[in-house]
Amino acid sequence: MLKLTRVFIKVVELGSFSKAAKVLNMAPSSITRCIDKLESELGVTLLKRSTRQLLLTDKGHVFLKGSNKLVADSDYLLMSLSNQNTEPEGSLRISTFESFGRLNICPLIPEFLDRYPKINIEIELDNKMVDLWVENIDLAIRIGIPEDSSLKSRKLLSNYTCICASPGYLSKHDNIEQPQDLSMHNCLLLNQQRQRIYWYLKNSHQNVKVAVSGNLKSKGGTPLLEAALQGLGVVQLANWMVTDFVKHGDLVVCLKDWEPLLNESSNGNIYAIYKDNPYPNPNIRLFIDYLIDKTHNKKINED
């Protein structure tokens, strides 16, 4: 029942069975069955379902409120069994991609360690894909959800991007008025896992995919940002990286009527990834909750 309740909460949170299925690494049909079973056990209808939207019933609202508390109490109980009202302590090994770690995670660590001085954090900023099991990483911060079913993920924030260049670059090169124009520009390319050769954009009535190329590639955004600031080319970077530069006029957003995506279907979200371990290090949850709290309250340059 508690597992079913967790599924229900995730479904409501994402407003979709299939989205919840992705996050929970389950098939959509299993989500359907879980909600069916929960409704059957409770004897009430929780959701008015359609393929396009889910609506909470009145009883669904009542149950959601109570179930959030139930799950929180359960989590707390589990945690109190491991910590026994002691001050959180122990180690936490974190891997995060460089730019996000440097700009958004590292600044949050001192306050966390002030709050929990007995916790030791080991953090690596690098842009290679790490195997959490092999390298014994407790927590990785990544864009997108890994397909590895032995890992769990929790969304930290969305990862909106924009395509921008410096005023200097734009004054010396052809105008960029539509996506295809990017082909004629030096595009600074983010390498992730495989070589990126397309940028994807969408607006209100179409999605396009543009073949792009350029003379600078990097797995992380930092070198690309620096190159763009110096007028080397056009770059697609996350808003949390470039917002301040845009504000100061060091970078100009191009193709404002289009939303750039990170792959064919989405702009990618940033997730906390951790091992699906029946005996998890409680500091993992502690740090994730801390991050969620910080990201939700501060809106780390998400939009």
Interaction of residue 44 with a copy of itself, rule CB under 8 A: yes
Contact assessment for residue 139 and residue 273, using Cβ atoms and an 8 Å cutoff: yes
What's the Rg (C-alpha) of the chain? Answer: 22
The pair phi, psi for residue 149, each rounded to 5°, is -75, -10
Interaction partner, residue 51 (a copy of itself, DNA, none; CB < 5-8 Å by kind):
DNA
Whichever of 205 and 247 has its CB closer to DNA, that residue is 205
Q: In angstroms, what is the minimal distance from the CB of 15 to DNA? A: 8
- 3-state secondary structure at position 43: coil
Interaction of residue 134 with a copy of itself, rule CB under 8 A: no
Whichever of 102 and 285 has its CB closer to a copy of itself, that residue is 285
Buried b (16+ CB within 10 A) or exposed e, 169-207: bbeebeebeebebbeebbbbbbebeeebeebbbbeeeee
Interaction of residue 279 with a copy of itself, rule CB under 8 A: yes
161-165/234-238 β-pairing: antiparallel
Buried b (16+ CB within 10 A) or exposed e, 276-300: eeeebbbbbbbbbebbeebbeeeeb
- Output the six-digit token pair for 270: 């940033």
Q: How far apart are CA 8 and CA 22, in angstroms?
A: 14
Whichever of 21 and 234 has its CB closer to DNA, that residue is 21
Interaction of residue 36 with a copy of itself, rule CB under 8 A: no
From 27, 55, 62, 129, residue interacting with a copy of itself (rule: CB under 8 A): 62
DSSP class of residue 294 equals H
Q: In angstroms, what is the minimal distance from the CB of 44 to a copy of itself? A: 5
Contact assessment for residue 270 and residue 143, using Cβ atoms and an 8 Å cutoff: yes
Whichever of 30 and 263 has its CB closer to DNA, that residue is 30
Interaction of residue 42 with a copy of itself, rule CB under 8 A: yes
From 15, 48, 55, 80, residue interacting with a copy of itself (rule: CB under 8 A): 80
From 74, 120, 136, 178, residue interacting with a copy of itself (rule: CB under 8 A): 74
Binding site for DNA (CB under 7 A): 16-19, 21, 25-37, 49-54, 205
Q: In angstroms, what is the minimal distance from the CB of 27 to DNA? A: 4
Angle between helices 28-42 and 17-24 (to 10 degrees): 110
Interaction partner, residue 62 (DNA, a copy of itself, none; CB < 5-8 Å by kind):
a copy of itself
Sheet holding 119-125, edge to edge: 119-125, 90-96, 139-143, 269-275, 151-158
Residue that has been written with the tokens 């979200």 in this structure: 269
Q: In angstroms, what is the minimal distance from the CB of 84 to a copy of itself? A: 7
Q: In angstroms, what is the minimal distance from the CB of 69 to a copy of itself? A: 7
Whichever of 36 and 264 has its CB closer to a copy of itself, that residue is 36
Interaction partner, residue 33 (a copy of itself, DNA, none; CB < 5-8 Å by kind):
DNA
- What percentage of the chain's residues is helix, strand, coil (to nearest 5)? 40, 25, 35
Q: In angstroms, what is the minimal distance from the CB of 279 to a copy of itself? A: 4
Whichever of 209 and 217 has its CB closer to DNA, that residue is 209
Interaction partner, residue 67 (a copy of itself, DNA, none; CB < 5-8 Å by kind):
a copy of itself
Interaction partner, residue 84 (DNA, a copy of itself, none; CB < 5-8 Å by kind):
a copy of itself
